[in-house]
Structure 1
Amino acid sequence: MHRRSLPIRALPSRSRPAGARPARPIPTRAGLATATIALVLAGCASADGDGDGGLRVAVLAASSQNGYNQAVHEGVQQAIDEHDADVEVQLLDGQFDANTQLSQMQNASTSGEYDGVIVVPHDGPSLAAAFPLANDIPVVTVLNPIGPDINEMEPQVEGVVSTVAVPPAEAAARQAEAVAEHCTGIDPCRVVLLVGQLSSPLDVAREEAYREVLEPEDNIEIVATAEGQYDRDESLTAISNVLQSNQDVDVILSNADQQTSGAQIALENAGIDPSEVYLTGGGGTEDAITAVREGTWQADYVNFPVSMGAAAFEQLHAAMTGDDVETWVDADAVGDIEPYVTKEILDEHPDFTGEWNG
């Protein structure tokens, strides 16, 4: 899995400024309350939490309204519940805005309010401007790295101790390879790319990987690239517009399940049977797993955001308590199933339903 362990020294405890009140934590979609459990830093108390000082962790979501980010937060809470210790978590909303999240990261370091940070970056390259942090607190990043290379999983900036992710180009290429296999014998095979945000480094890497696989194939024609904004309704509108000039679509390749759901509705509204089109998405939502089982979608790239959040907390906990840290956790390996699923694969795992819904 290309992991290596990095010994991290125990960090000194940090107290809040006098008179400061902790902000109210935002609950997850599952209604989980903020956990308070004893994790004690070296020199404060035992690791069993017998002391009276706890830790505060900030979870910086790309968007706290986004189901994927909420699932990561849920995983953090679940991992905390498994530790008999004292940790208070606050979820911060990045509003899908790079400047907002950059400011939140800088404040998390300078305020003295937090002992560690877990972040789902909206823009990993831009967020690198916050590092090195003003105060030495460990940061674990989820879904994509922080730094100039979106496909480099080892920490690229001082202060990031672990990345829980997979190279986005590698994951996108595997999606596109399945499309190319489906297109064998179809000439022309008309493909629509449905990408989240064409200005996002993460999605730029995905679109480039799609094209690197598909464009060399003589029988494949990419007829349109649409922006879905990780939203069903936005994707419904985008694909409806595409279908006005491209009725004979063979494949819709999407990087997000919410977008594929919108594409399915657009096809239905246009009088096209979705099962006649190769529909594939990314995320592994409960709805997507159901759609693949029923044959409405042909495939899905499954993510495990709850398990990823739990893995992120495990690495942050290790950093805060002086244990060895895995600098890269392969996010494709934290779930209970092969991440690239078809109906045949899901039939072999009848109990798998997905870790979240968007």
Structure 2
Amino acid sequence: MRRPHSMVLGASALVATLTLSACGADGGGSSDGYQIAFLAASSQNGYSQAVYEGIKQAAEDADVDVSVKILDGQFDANTQLSQLQNATTTGQYDGVIVVPNDGPSLAAAFPLPNDMPVATVLAPIGPDINEMEPQVEGVTTTVAVPPVDAATKQAEQVVDYCAEIDPCKVVLMLGQLDTPLDTARREAYEKAFAGNDNIQVVATVEGGYDRDKAMTSMANVLQSNSDFNVLLSNADQDALGATLAIEDAGIDPSSVFITGGGGTKEAVENVKSGRWAADYLNFPVSMGSAAMEQVLNALEGRDVESYVNADEVGGTEPYATKETLGDFVGEWNG
């Protein structure tokens, strides 16, 4: 649920500091306002951009002046760790929001030398990828869901679809095969399939959270597995690219079970039209807003939610089918 392609922000806006003035008549807080660092997994990634959009919206709604600067994590764990260490020690910022590239490795930045609030979005910071309550001293709030829970629910939908198909040939497409978040998802998929002897995972490939790379990966899979039944992906960008390869191979996408993850506008339309069977929705704009709200609560001395369930911020059932989507259109483009 991360990677490039269209979003409302231009490249120049992504590298500049954005000052958002929103002083209310009775506004409190620092007389100089607050400086917040947003550590994007990648500033060119559509998911991170959508989180950034939500952060900006919450800043605009605040009753104090808030400035936000986006930092490019370049999909690199070491780069992002260095950014987090700098942001929390230089005195330039009052708070940090991060979309982790590697949540376990970011724990090395803690404990902090100060009481700066740090919010993490999509994944926790600490050794346990499925523990949402703060695992290390200094993490203020986590806006996410346990990846095992979400991935298990996706896989259970596949098990239901495959119930009367033997063999039911499944292609797994992960965003990245070596990150803690996607490793947890893959293990959850495989565990859910265990005991269902009719289900055969015929290929496990990487889409890279990139439509073009995913298209190439799926085209390679189809050379030896054109009779597959299911494409299960954790990322809409990858599922969208794979769908193009499926169509290029002369296969009607609606004739197989395709499910992605992310809740992009295009994915939602694919589910509504029947081209896809399902999608696991994410709400990155709402998640970014929730993270900013909790950081500002901490800075202003208000009560803070240490865990915000990301499945509950979008106002609709996250495990979407054509029957459940209603008027929902998606929060982002990926």
Hey, which bits of structure 1, 4+ residues long, moved more than 3 A? 31-34, 49-52
Aligned residues: 324
Distance 1:28 1:335 in 2: 24
Q: Deviations over 1:136-191 (max 9, x none)?
A: 31100000000000000000011101100000010000000000000010000000
- The alpha-carbon deviation at position 110 of structure 1 amounts to 1.4
**Structure 2 gaps, min length 5:** 1-10
The aligned counterpart of 2:297 is 318
Distance 1:268 1:123 in 2: 34
* Aligned counterparts, 1:282-301, within 5 A: 282-301=261-280
- The alpha-carbon deviation at position 344 of structure 1 amounts to 1.1
Distance 1:166 1:189 in 2: 29
Q: Deviations over 1:176-220 (max 9, x none)?
A: 000000001000000000001111000000000000001320110
The aligned counterpart of 1:115 is 94
The aligned counterpart of 1:34 is 19
Helix, strand or coil at the partner of 2:185: helix
Q: Contact between 1:109 and 1:136, CA under 8 Å: does it hold in 2?
A: no
Q: Deviations over 1:30-86 (max 9, x none)?
A: x995313359xxxxxx97148641110000000110011000010011111111211
Helix, strand or coil at the partner of 1:316: helix
- The alpha-carbon deviation at position 323 of structure 1 amounts to 1.1
What is the root-mean-square deviation in Å for CA atoms of aligned residues? 1.9
* Aligned counterparts, 1:53-92, within 5 A: 53-92=32-71
Alignment partner for residue 253 of structure 2, among 253, 274, 279? 274
**Structure 1 gaps, min length 5:** 1-24, 40-45
Distance 1:32 1:92 in 2: 9
TM-score by length of 1: 0.87
The aligned counterpart of 1:248 is 227
The alignment status of 1:203 with 2:203, answered yes or no, reads: no
* Aligned counterparts, 1:1-358, within 5 A: 27=13, 34-38=19-23, 48-49=27-28, 52-346=31-325, 349=326, 351-358=327-334
Which amino acid letter does the alignment assign opposite residue 66 of structure 1? N
Distance 1:66 1:210 in 2: 25
The aligned counterpart of 2:8 is none
Q: Contact between 1:120 and 1:143, CA under 8 Å: does it hold in 2?
A: yes
Helix, strand or coil at the partner of 1:306: helix
Distance 1:26 1:327 in 2: 33
Distance 1:188 1:37 in 2: 59
TM-score by length of 2: 0.93
Distance 1:197 1:309 in 2: 23
Distance 2:12 2:80 in 1: 16
Change (3 A) 1:196 1:51: closer
